[in-house]
Amino acid sequence: MPDSSPLREDSASPWWRGGLRFSCRRCGGCCGREPGVVLFTDAEMAEMSSALGVGEGEFERLYVWRKYGLRSLRERANYDCVFLDGGGCVIYHARPAQCRRFPFWPEILKNKPSWDFYSRNCPGMDEGDLHDYEAIAGYLSKYEETGGGG
Ligand code: SF4
């Protein structure tokens, strides 16, 4: 577990111990605007391919590239995810775990100012369903276990 882990830093009492509210509004705001990497497992690629009705070879050719040495979903010139369109994510129900776990990522949960910073562009944060301590700790553990993908 890296030293920067929100689980390790304040494991006795992280600032989010009381849980956090979040329900995705599917606005697509977290799916672009700035450069990023969207990791996925082979099983997730199979799910995404199936959702689009294309073979995995075709999926890789059209929608995958290597960025920072990592296999990632492509992004457009404006940094939007290749699967973001005007109505949101076109593979929402088959999106990878990295996307499903947003905004419960280590860099967002590291402190309250970071959470507040990201919430300015996400209307789903601080609204909707309550995610309790156990759920958030589970997201973070899974993130650390997989390096963010899967
Ligand atoms: S910015 Fe927030 S509400 Fe909008 S799609 Fe992303 S997670 Fe959902």
What does the pLDDT look like over 38-80, one tens digit per residue? 999 999 999 999 999 999 999 999 999 999 999 999 999 999 9
Global pTM value: 0.85
Is the distance from the beta carbon of residue 127 to the nearest atom of ligand 1 less than 6 Å?
no
For residue 115, give every residue at least 6 positions away whose Cβ sits within 8 Å of its Cβ, in sequence order, or none: 16, 20, 103, 108, 109, 125
pLDDT at position 78 is: 93
Task: Report CA(102)–ligand 1 centroid distance (Å).
Answer: 8
Nearest-angstrom CA–CA distance, 52 and 101: 22
**Are the beta carbons of 37 and 107 closer than 8 angstroms?**
no
Nearest-angstrom CA–CA distance, 78 and 97: 23
Q: Is the pLDDT assigned to residue 6 strictly greater than 70?
A: no
